Amino acid sequence: MIFLRNKGGSFILILFLYSRHVLTEKE
């Protein structure tokens, strides 16, 4: 359970960093 939760958190973190990178490029 902790592993799945950790994996999900990493996935959300990647999406957050990716979206921020895209917004920075658009700017």
Q: Where are the domains of the chain?
A: 1-27
The predicted structure's pLDDT at residue 19: 92
The predicted structure's pLDDT at residue 11: 86
**Predicted confidence (pLDDT) per residue in 1-27, tens digit:** 566 667 777 888 888 999 998 888 876
The predicted structure's pLDDT at residue 20: 92
Q: How far apart are the first and last CA of the chain?
A: 39
CA distances from 15 to 11, 22 (A): 6, 10
The predicted structure's pLDDT at residue 18: 92
